[in-house]
Amino acid sequence: MGGDDAPATIVEGARLAAYEFGVPVLLVGDPDRLGDVGDMPILPASEVVEMGADAATSIRRLKDSSIVRGAEAVRDGSASSLLSAGNTGAAMAASLLRIGRIKGVSRPGIAVPMPVLGSTPCTLLDCGANADSQPEWLVQFARMGTAYARHRFDLASPRVGILTIGEEAGKGNTLVKDACQLLEHGDWAEACGATYIGNIEGNDLMSGAADVVICDGFTGNVALKSLEGFHDILQGNVMAALDDPVFDAVRPALDKKVRPIFDTFNSRGTGAAMLLGTRGVTLISHGSSSANTIANAIRTADAIAGERIVDNIRAAVS
Amino acid sequence: MGGDDAPATIVEGARLAAYEFGVPVLLVGDPDRLGDVGDMPILPASEVVEMGADAATSIRRLKDSSIVRGAEAVRDGSASSLLSAGNTGAAMAASLLRIGRIKGVSRPGIAVPMPVLGSTPCTLLDCGANADSQPEWLVQFARMGTAYARHRFDLASPRVGILTIGEEAGKGNTLVKDACQLLEHGDWAEACGATYIGNIEGNDLMSGAADVVICDGFTGNVALKSLEGFHDILQGNVMAALDDPVFDAVRPALDKKVRPIFDTFNSRGTGAAMLLGTRGVTLISHGSSSANTIANAIRTADAIAGERIVDNIRAAVS
């Protein structure tokens, strides 16, 4: 029921996932509003947490909302993962309150795979679960991000960096400096199988310099949205420039060579961010996701759930 | 003496500025190393603060360094502004210690004009002068940014926003929430002639939604470097894709239409960031600046100095 064109776009994406990719999908929402869903099962939920609504309050009050019922389905084992394109805060709150935190995790973090050309993505976290952070939480993000990157992208010992504003050790704000002390001197990397590589600057988020980059949720969200916005501005301008009759003769070649670049570097194209640190798989898609993006996110949800990622994150933080 | 290819590239940029644009340039550095400088005057300085050196220590010890001598030239009135492509911390420290802070300014901030298509740039500050910030400093950045945007871009009442992670009021980290209280309830906007527009998200930094966006120096630097890195990645990939014989017939049209887009959206292309809050004009260029970029930065330095921007910033914070 969440997303800019919900439920129509979401149902269309679910259809693609179910009938093209063969992923079993459980739809959660108001059966009267979902339209034709083929033979996909529906878990009825009469309420909806709106996009602008306060997350914590809504989850407490709207007990029959689709996001609460979806989280309960994961908790109860009738679904292996939860995907939402609705209110992000509500998806986090429902997961925390209904699915619960992994023991030892102070705060879950949102992990977003940033595209890297010719390589596996660079997992950036936290991308907005916690606006303020503690140094210890950043170390947990490093551990959880390592488990995620290893299992999602098949990396033996993911290279983990911390996002800051200089190459030299000791550069950064107080939070980063304190976290660096913990990261440099602890045995966390050995314990979870990471390779700690220290400082990463903003220009290296998509360069392939790191497999996992940790930061507080405020910084991560600003960086992510800045990059998304810039992607769209550049794509819009380049595509408009190429939309000129002078290029008609080479149109197919342009479409084949230029458009895929913008698709590749669209961090929303992977379909979903994952909330790391709860006892279940919760994926969060953009409200503006297309049916194709939703279908890809469902496929990702299926793959991640199959990898027993929660067990791996639990081991990484313990 | 500062910059990746200094002093050769800097001298070449100075030559362009002096002989093509007619801007009088004073070179500061080691006369034996500057090469042929035509009839541009030289202020001799025997020492250099290296790129990786600790700024505060270097400024105290290297009293005959080019950056210290340059700042003294501004202080003494023998130069109207200072431009450096060297160690940013050293340029800030030299400006603070030799030129001095404007009365009432807690901390200077680095202002970077972010390109906006078909409009005046959006001034982002602080882009890295202070890794940690206080709510009150953000309000001063708003005042100083207003004065800067008005005078540099001829805006009557610049629209000022605060960088955060949500559209609704009250979204952000503790610093932003505290700053928002001050920004919403103070008379600062009236006093300095700003139009306060509240929350701005990362995706609106280059959309034209605001004329000035304020943030702490850590967040601003991460956002700026993330965008610079992404710009180069997309430019590199698009240009490589277009560098194919299939496009040879439309090569001139491609060069004319596509390349300028990446030039327009290169935040380093404006040539210089300005340190706002000292009693002089200090501009900071990228170490990797080309001679053309340096020449443009010198032209900017000349224009800004002529606008008596220091007096205007002083008035905006008083």
Three-class SS of residue A187? coil
Residues in chain B with CB shorter than 8 Å from the CB of A222 are 163-165, 201-202, 215, 219, 222-223
Q: Is the pLDDT of residue A318 over 80?
A: yes
Q: Is the pLDDT of residue B270 over 70?
A: no
Tell whether A240 lies on the interface with B, counting CB pairs under 8 A.
Answer: no
Q: What is residue B306's predicted lDDT score, i.e. its pLDDT?
A: 74
Q: What is residue B212's predicted lDDT score, i.e. its pLDDT?
A: 98
The mean pLDDT value for B245-262 works out to 94
Q: What is residue A167's predicted lDDT score, i.e. its pLDDT?
A: 83
Q: Which residues contact A84 (CB under 8 A, 6 or more apart)?
A: A2, A67, A70, A90, A91, A282, A283, A284, A285
Q: Nearest-CA residue of chain B relative to A132? A: B173
Residues B117 and B261 both lie in one domain:
yes
Q: What is residue A207's predicted lDDT score, i.e. its pLDDT?
A: 94
Tell whether B223 lies on the interface with A, counting CB pairs under 8 A.
Answer: yes
Residues B308 and B221 both lie in one domain:
no
Residues B150 and B6 both lie in one domain:
no
Q: Is the pLDDT of residue B283 over 80?
A: yes
B201 and A173 within 8 Å at the Cβ level: the answer is no
Residues B118 and B232 both lie in one domain:
yes
Residues B96 and B155 both lie in one domain:
no
Residues in chain B with CB shorter than 8 Å from the CB of A217 are 165
Q: What is residue A299's predicted lDDT score, i.e. its pLDDT?
A: 92
Query: Which of A280-289, A297-306, B188-197 is most confident?
Result: B188-197
CB–CB of A34/A308 below 8 Å? no
The token pair that represents B55 in the structure block: 């700024």
Full residue range of the structural domain in which residue A150 is found = 113-271
According to DSSP H, which parts of chain B are helical? 8-15, 31-34, 55-61, 66-76, 88-94, 135-153, 174-185, 188-192, 217-242, 251-257, 259-264, 291-306, 309-317
Measured in angstroms, the CA of A15 and the nearest CA of chain B are apart by 31
The mean pLDDT value for A213-242 works out to 96
- What confidence category does residue B168 fall into, taking pLDDT thresholds of 50, 70 and 90? confident
The mean pLDDT value for A10-27 works out to 97
Q: What is residue A1's predicted lDDT score, i.e. its pLDDT?
A: 96
B34 bridge partner residues: none
Measured in angstroms, the CA of B166 and the nearest CA of chain A are apart by 9
- What confidence category does residue A306 fall into, taking pLDDT thresholds of 50, 70 and 90? confident
Using CB atoms within 10 A of its CB, is residue A267 exposed (0-12), middle (13-18) or buried (19+)?
buried
Residues A17 and A152 both lie in one domain:
no
| Nearest CA-CA partner of A73 in A102, A101, A41 | A41
Residues A191 and A314 both lie in one domain:
no
Residues A43 and A27 both lie in one domain:
yes
Q: What is residue A181's predicted lDDT score, i.e. its pLDDT?
A: 96
Three-class SS of residue A113? strand
Residues B162 and B292 both lie in one domain:
no
A241 and B229 within 8 Å at the Cβ level: the answer is no
The token pair that represents A199 in the structure block: 């400082």
Tell whether A237 lies on the interface with B, counting CB pairs under 8 A.
Answer: yes
CB–CB of B197/B189 below 8 Å? no
Q: What is residue B271's predicted lDDT score, i.e. its pLDDT?
A: 64
Q: Which CATH number belongs to the domain containing residue B312 in this structure?
A: 3.40.718.10
Using CB atoms within 10 A of its CB, is residue A77 exposed (0-12), middle (13-18) or buried (19+)?
exposed
Residues A253 and A141 both lie in one domain:
yes
b (16+ CB within 10 A) / e for A118-130: eebbbbbbbbbbb
For chain B, how many structural domains are there in total?
Answer: 2
- What confidence category does residue A270 fall into, taking pLDDT thresholds of 50, 70 and 90? low
The mean pLDDT value for A272-278 works out to 95
Q: Is the pLDDT of residue A170 over 90?
A: no
Tens digit of each residue's pLDDT (9 = 90 or more) over B184-239? 987 999 999 999 999 999 999 999 999 999 999 999 999 999 999 999 999 999 99
Q: What is residue B186's predicted lDDT score, i.e. its pLDDT?
A: 77
Predicted TM-score (pTM) of this structure: 0.95
A206 and B128 within 8 Å at the Cβ level: the answer is no
The mean pLDDT value for A190-218 works out to 97
Residues B262 and B285 both lie in one domain:
no
CB–CB of B36/B317 below 8 Å? no
The mean pLDDT value for B6-34 works out to 96
Separation of first and last alpha carbons in chain A: 36
Give CA–CA dist A259/B242, Å, rounded: 11
Tens digit of each residue's pLDDT (9 = 90 or more) over B45-88? 999 999 889 999 999 999 999 999 999 999 999 999 999 999 99
Give CA–CA dist B235/B110, Å, rounded: 26
Minimal Cβ distance to B163: which of A128, A222, A246: A222
Tens digit of each residue's pLDDT (9 = 90 or more) over A119-167? 999 999 999 999 999 999 999 999 999 999 999 999 999 999 999 998 8
Give CA–CA dist B129/B132, Å, rounded: 9
Give CA–CA dist B24/B21, Å, rounded: 9
Residues A136 and A259 both lie in one domain:
yes
| Nearest CA-CA partner of B233 in A101, A146, A116 | A116
Minimal Cβ distance to A233: which of B206, B242, B258: B206
Tell whether A279 lies on the interface with B, counting CB pairs under 8 A.
Answer: no
- What confidence category does residue A271 fall into, taking pLDDT thresholds of 50, 70 and 90? low
